[in-house]
Every structure is written in structure tokens, then in C-alpha cells.
Chains A and B, each alone.
Chain A
Amino acid sequence: MLLRVLIGLTLIALPLLSAQEKPAVVKSYQVPYKTTIPKHLVVRVKINGKGPFNFILDTGAPAMIIATKIGEKAGLANGEDGWAVLDKLEIEGGPTLTKIKARVETPFQLEGMNGLGMAGLEIHGLMGYHILARYRMEIDFTRNKMTWTEIDNSVPEPGRIRKGVGGMGGLDVMGSMMKSLGGMLGRKANPEISLRGLVGLTLENGDEYPTVVGVLENGPAGKAGVRKGDLILKVNDRTVTSVGDILRFAGKISPGQKISLLIKRKDGEQTITFLTGEGI
């Protein structure tokens, strides 16, 4: 399948079209990204207003490859030349392209990765050269955003894709193999997500114990009677000595679940127990 695309692209003379109008001002964007567990760079996109979908930023792909399932959701179908035309492609952080070509096809890597839950989030496609070549991209793993700057670059339209040429030398069967293996192991593309509850306290590290320096009166802790100036000694019976400890020990308490704080005030120690709320 992959090779078919490859050969289609490589054996056909590519007419050089200047596809993009010149931007009047140089536009620069801060594009957020996530990483998969094995550290692919993932950007989120909306296609014809649908999404967001997760795409691997992939200089190893010639164009944008959209998984079949997602193509259907966005109302896309490959045309005569093997390419679908997206009315609108929005990339998180601001870059937007209109009337842009992409291939609707599920690469075996995606089928396998998603089937085995290897990425840690469902991957919906690859974003390759035909899109990326329109930007100067600054990628730095010490930051959680990239800088994309529009460049006035002539990007050739992707060539016609031939049917029935080539093969993957057996690679293509692996995607479905891994998918069925993942099914047997009970793996899912997306992990089960839970949220941490809101407590409503502002905290600072103290000499010995973390200190409450602010209380949202209408928040869960405020309603339960936690006060400014209280020292927090324990969270759910675990001793804490820093704000980091508190956030770690409370890190998996969902909204509506119980939390117990052992509090120290001038008049002694007491345990305050309440339910966390929803919110951030």
C-alpha cells in the first residue's frame, strides 16, 4: 500500500505548481504538540471543521495521509488522481490551509500502533511533506510548542497514484497482525482517561510542611473549613513535606471522591475530610 503511493509519486513527472498565494505579512504560529509513548511528534488538526484529530508530524511521508475512518467522518474520498481535496485544514495553534490535497488510506503502521495501543493515544494519520513544506518549523523537545513560520515556497502538487503497483514485501500484513494481537491482549488505542478533582487551595512550601496561602471560599476545601495559614501534614494518611508531595498523592483523586487532610493550626491538629469538586 505504502509502496504504491511511493511509486506513484516517484515515477511520475511532477509539474511544479505554485499552490499558495503569497502571504502579505510573515505569519508565525506557536503550534502545540504532544508525543506518543515512543516519542512521535503529534499535532492536532481539524478537517473541514471536524476533529480534533491526531497526526504524526512526519518528514518520512510525502503528503498528508488520513486514516480511512477519519476520511469518512470528514466526508472525504480519494478522487480520480488518488487524492482527496480538503476544503479546510486547521492545525492547532493557527496554521490553516484551504483546498489542500491528502490521501485517504490507513497505513499499516497506524493500524498496528492503534491496535496495540502502542502510541498512548489514537493516531489518525500522518502529516508529511506536501503540508510541512509550507512552513519553517522550529522543533525543540525542551519546549511543548513548535514555532511554524509561513514561507513562500512552491510546493508541487502530489502526483497521480497508480493502482496495483508494487507491494510492501510483507510489511503490510503486519498492521492487521498486530491489531489482532492487540485485540487478544485487550489493548485499546486510547487509554481510559480520568480527571483529578478540584480542591480550591493555593499552597506554598513551608519550613517543615506545606502551607495554605489561599482558599477559594466557595471551593470544596473552603466549604469544608480549611483556612488560610493551615499547615498540611498528611493527605489521605500519607505524610507530606512539600506541595509536590500533595499534588503527587492527590494526583489520582477524581472529582466527587473523598480527600482527607491532616491540618495543623495554633489550636492543634485535626483531620478535615471532604469530596473534591469538578473543575481545574
Chain B
Amino acid sequence: MNMLRALALILLIALFAPAEDTPRADQPAPAKPVVVPFELLKSGHMAVHVMVNDKGPYLLIFDTGAPMSLVNNKLANDAGLFKGKMKSPFALFGSQGNVKIKKLSVGGQSAENVDAIVMDHPTVEALARALDKPLCGIVGFPFFARFKMTLDYKTKTMTLVPSGYQPPDIMKAMTSALLSPGAKTLAPAAQFGLIAVKEAGDQADGVDIKEVIAGSPAAKAGLKRGDRLLTLDGRWTDSVSDLYEAASLVKPDEKVELQVKRGDKTLRLSVTPVKGF
């Protein structure tokens, strides 16, 4: 099972290619925006300078496609992450499993108790060799999810502001996902009062409005039977389940836009769904 888990972990890291070198200030996490420069590697990856428990700086790839952070064995040894931990001598890709990093700082922005795995990821190693850069790992979701981040490739900076978001435990989520029956019900979060259909073989954008229930929020918005609904709150509604999914994200009393094709005109209607079902 541990082997399976280690293998599964690697699949999650959608690291496809590279990163390099940025100065940073080492200060406690301020609640104000911190502008962190990144190095754009030749491969198109972002690299940032990272302090691990005040050791470093180390060069890591900043990867929005990585659900976990990852550090190699060299960094882990250097930063003392193995203290009090038994190392497994036979490990695939040098995987030593999960560690909690007490303090991880990117630029001047820090996060505490950040989950990471210790592993010599072959793609990171290959990138390091190809680019001749001392890449030691990946900064992933458990760090960046805590911040509102603005990525700007032109100025080669990321701006990080703590958002209050608490990243969930990915390992737990994965374990329950693998045990789940793989079914879900899409439930609108509020009531609109419309019925939509998509005929078999209909490949065009949108769904057909089959009925607008009298007195409903959809009726008040001016939606009509025969309209073609293209988007709800900016989300494509190309199938009935897409429509339900979009509706599951709109709260009661939240005013959102419907983009509708009526004849050859495209209309934008405002609808405010109500609390109910």
C-alpha cells in the first residue's frame, strides 16, 4: 500500500518541464502583499528561492500543477528535516514519505507546518542537469494555496497575500477518493426555476430552455422557453450536467448573468436565484 501510495503521489505532480534564481528577504510573514521575484528558466518553469526552517536559500520549482510540495534528500538532510525520523534504506526514488516543514519561506512570505514529501523526483533531477541549476524540489499547493497569488510572467514576479484559506490534507482526500464509489450528485445551491434539455447529437454550444416556471427567478429575469442558454455566471452550459454544476456554485440571492441566444441575438440577463430547491 505504501508503494502504491508513493507511486500514486508521483502521478499527481504534473511537472512537465523546468525553473532558476531570485533574491529574497528573510522576514516573518507579513499580512501585506509581498512581491517575490522568480526566475524564468529556459524551459519555461518558474524557480524561486526558498528558505526551509531558516536554512537555505534553496532553488525550487514553483508549480501550480503540484498538489504537494517536494524536497530532495540533499535539501532534507541539509535543513535537518530527518531529525528524529528513521530513514528507509530501500525507497523508490529515495522517497522518505511525508514531512512537516516547520517554516517554509518564499521571498519574504512564510507559511508554517507545510506538508511536503521527501523524494528525488526524476523529472526535477533531469531538469537540474539539463539546465545546470541546483533545483532541489517543488513548491506546491500546501504552500501557495494559503495566499492570494498574482503571477506575472512579464515582470517575473509573484505577489503573495495571505488569504486565510486553509489547505486540506491532500493525502486524506486522496485516500477517501480512492475508496469512494466514484459517483456524485450535482445539486443547485439555489432555485432558478428553469428546465433545460440537450438533444442527443446536439454538438452546438449551450442547452435549450424547455420551460421557465411562472413566477420563478428565471421568469423574472426574462428568460423564455426556446432560448439557448450559453453560460450561467460565466460558466459554459454545454450540457445539462454542466448547467447543474454551474448552478451548484451560485448562492441564494447572488445576482449572476445568463448569456442567452434568442434567434440571432445574444442577450445578457440578470438572474437572482432564491433560497430553496
Report which A residues bind B (CB closer than 8 A). 2-3, 5-7, 9-11, 14, 30, 32, 36-41, 44, 46, 51-52, 56-63, 65, 92-94, 107-110, 112-113, 116-118, 120, 126, 128-130, 132-134, 136-142, 144-145, 151-153, 155, 158, 166, 168-171, 174-175, 177-178, 181, 187-188, 191-196, 198-204, 214, 216-219, 243, 246-247, 250-252, 254, 277-280
Is B130 at the interface (CB under 8 A from chain A)? yes
Classify chain B: how many residues form its interface, as a range. Answer: 35 or more
User: Would you list which residues of chain B between 93 and 108 have a CB under 8 Å from chain A?
Assistant: none
Q: List 10 A-B contacts (CB under 8 A).
A: A2-B15, A51-B238, A63-B44, A65-B16, A138-B149, A139-B148, A158-B44, A195-B244, A203-B275, A279-B211
Chain A positions within 8 Å of B67 at CB level: 36, 38-40
Contact status of A112 and B11, CB under 8 A, knowing A137-B151, A200-B213, A202-B274: yes
- The 9 A-B residue pairs whose C-beta atoms are closest, nearest first, are A58-B65, A129-B44, A60-B63, A61-B16, A169-B122, A62-B44, A279-B195, A112-B11, A133-B153
Given A109-B11, A171-B123, A216-B216: A62 touches B17 (CB 8 Å cut-off): yes
Q: Are A62 and B43 in contact (CB under 8 A)?
A: yes
Chain A hits for B177, CB < 8 A? 37-38, 117-118, 120
Contacts of B233 in A (CB 8 A): 32
Residues of A contacting B185 with CB < 8 Å?
A: 193-196, 251-252, 254
Interface string of B238-251 (1 = CB under 8 A from A): 10111110010100
Q: Contact between A60 and B65 (Cβ–Cβ < 8 Å)?
A: yes
Cβ-closest chain A residue relative to B145: A141
Which residue on chain B has the smallest CB distance to residue A170?
A: B122
Partner of B244, one of A250, A277, A280: A280
Known A203-B277, A277-B195, A279-B193; further 13 A-B contacts with Cβ < 8 A:
A5-B17, A38-B68, A107-B14, A118-B174, A166-B126, A194-B183, A198-B191, A200-B191, A200-B213, A200-B216, A201-B276, A204-B275, A280-B196
Interfacial chain B residues near A39, Cβ < 8 Å:
67, 141, 145, 167-168, 170, 173
**Bound: A177/B6 CA distance, A:** 13
Question: Chain A residue with minimal CB distance to B204?
Answer: A49
Minimum CB–CB distance from A2 to chain B (whole Å) comes to 6
Give the docked Cα–Cα distance between A61 and B196 (Å): 38
Residue of A with least CB distance to B130: A10
**In the complex the two chains form, is A196's CB within 8 Å of B182's CB?**
no
Q: Is the CB of B275 within 8 A of A196?
A: no
Q: Looking at the complex, which one of B178, B213, B215, B275 makes contact with A279 (CB distance below 8 Å)?
A: B213
B182 neighbours in A (Cβ, 8 Å): 117, 187-188, 191-192
B25 at the interface (CB under 8 A from A): no
Q: Are B45 and A129 in contact (CB under 8 A)?
A: yes
Which one of A153, A188, A193, A218 has the highest number of Cβ atoms from chain B below 10 Å of its Cβ? A193
Residues in chain A near residue B130, CB distance under 8 A: 6-7, 10-11
- CB pair B64–A129 under 8 Å, yes or no, is no
Distance in angstroms between the alpha carbons of A92 and B238 in the assembled complex: 12
B181 → A minimal CB distance (Å): 8
Contact B191 A118, beta carbon cutoff 8 Å: no
Which chain B residue shows the least CB distance to A110?
B14
Q: Cβ of A9 and Cβ of B44 under 8 Å apart?
A: yes
Contact status A92-B235, CB under 8 Å: yes
Is B46 in contact with chain A by the CB < 8 A criterion? Answer: yes
A45, closest chain B residue (CB): B236
